[in-house]
Structure 1
Amino acid sequence: MAKAVFHKNQRVYVKSVGTWALIEKVKPQWVKDVEEPVKIYYDCGLGRDFLAHELAAEQPAEADTGQWRLMRLKNKWQSVEECAHHPVPGTYPVVVTDTRDWGGWRVPGAEYDRDPARIEAQARMIAHAPRLVALAEQLARAVAEDPDAGEEMLALARRAGELVRAVRNLPAADAATSNAEATRLAE
């Protein structure tokens, strides 16, 4: 017996065609005197029906931002001699936020050439930002769970919580609730 793997209006990758499509209809194939369908076909509007093994579901976007890394690309516009004053001559930093080595943060060559040390520091800061946010979250959580935390630790945890909220861009109502909770913990 067959069970539906996909549902109507779901976005799927059609392997045999090599394109993305929406499932327009789910078509079960019934046999007389059988309670469940024998096969399930999917109409994607591409001229024929497909079976589940010919389709692939869209993967949800990764919430894990900890995979950011610093990569160096070759400077195409200047020779190594022209950029000898750079920290790593002939290259520039790129912060890659995708697993496929693209997407992320880049800086124009002219801006990098103006102040390479500043751009290098910014690249390192951006590449390590997800881990710093996770550390701030852990600090705030650990202090909130510790009834014997001193005033200094509570102040640090409060600042860490504010930074995390700023990064996560929580609405003001949620921030007010979190501030009230932090004040309650400090008492």
Structure 2
Amino acid sequence: MAKAVFQKHQRVFVKPVGVWAQIEQVKPHWVRDVEEPVRVTYDCGLGRDFTEKELAEEERDDTDTGGWRLMRARNKWQSAEECAHHPFPGSFPVVVTDKNDWGGWRVPGAEYDRDPSNIEFQARLIAQAPALLRLAEAALQFKDQADMLPQDVRDYIQAAEKAVGSVRAKPGDKPASAKAQRA
């Protein structure tokens, strides 16, 4: 029995040809009275179908983003021709926050169609959020040396402290500014 290892619109390296391609179609080969396909081939638009062994997945470096990554999902409501003005016709961005490609952020099709460039930007920003949080936390290491730093760097550290505080706050906690006003 075979299971699909790659999915439609996924970028793969095609070893026999030596090029990167996008999977256009996943083709399961069925046999009567068998619940699962006996083999799965992949159409990459290169003239023939390829097997799993002939393809290699794009290596991802999830350490910087905490495993959050940007994937593309097929647009079920519009064909690629109907949405040719989109940056990636026929698909939309999905930010996945789990190793098993679950959870995360998705956008309704109508909202994506309204402003696809903005949604693409938001998806890239959300996927990089863990790395940006680590940058802000790293800046806080210099907080105790702030009096020796230029004013613009002190302003950056203060903004980083505020941002990290709001991200790390637990639900129901009062904002740091409200605590300071009460004291």
Where structure 2 has 5 or more consecutive residues not aligned to the other structure, the ranges are 1-63
1:155 match: secondary structure: helix
Alignment RMSD (CA, Å): 2.7
Q: Give the equivalent residue in structure 2 for 1:130.
A: 130
CA distance in 2: counterparts of 1:151 and 1:143, whole angstroms: 12
1:99 match: secondary structure: coil
CA distance in 1: counterparts of 2:147 and 2:66, whole angstroms: 30
Q: Percent identity at matched positions?
A: 54
The AA in structure 1 aligned to 2:80 is V
Structure with the greater alpha carbon radius of gyration: 1
Q: 1:124/1:111 Cα in 2 relative to 1: closer, same or farther (>3 Å)?
A: same
Runs of 4+ aligned structure 1 residues displaced above 6 Å come to none
Encode CA deviations 1:37-73: one digit per residue, 9 max, x unaligned: xxxxxxxxxxxxxxxxxxxxxxxxxxx9721110001
Q: 1:133/1:172 Cα in 2 relative to 1: closer, same or farther (>3 Å)?
A: same
So what's the TM-score if we normalise by structure 2?
0.56
The AA in structure 1 aligned to 2:166 is A
Question: Aligned pair count?
Answer: 116
Q: Is the 8 A contact 1:68 1:95 kept in 2?
A: yes
Correspondences of 1:146-161 after superposition (within 5 Å): 148-161=148-161
Q: Does the alignment pair 1:95 with 2:95? A: yes
CA distance in 1: counterparts of 2:124 and 2:93, whole angstroms: 9
Where structure 1 has 5 or more consecutive residues not aligned to the other structure, the ranges are 1-63, 180-187
CA distance in 2: counterparts of 1:145 and 1:97, whole angstroms: 35
CA distance in 1: counterparts of 2:90 and 2:73, whole angstroms: 8
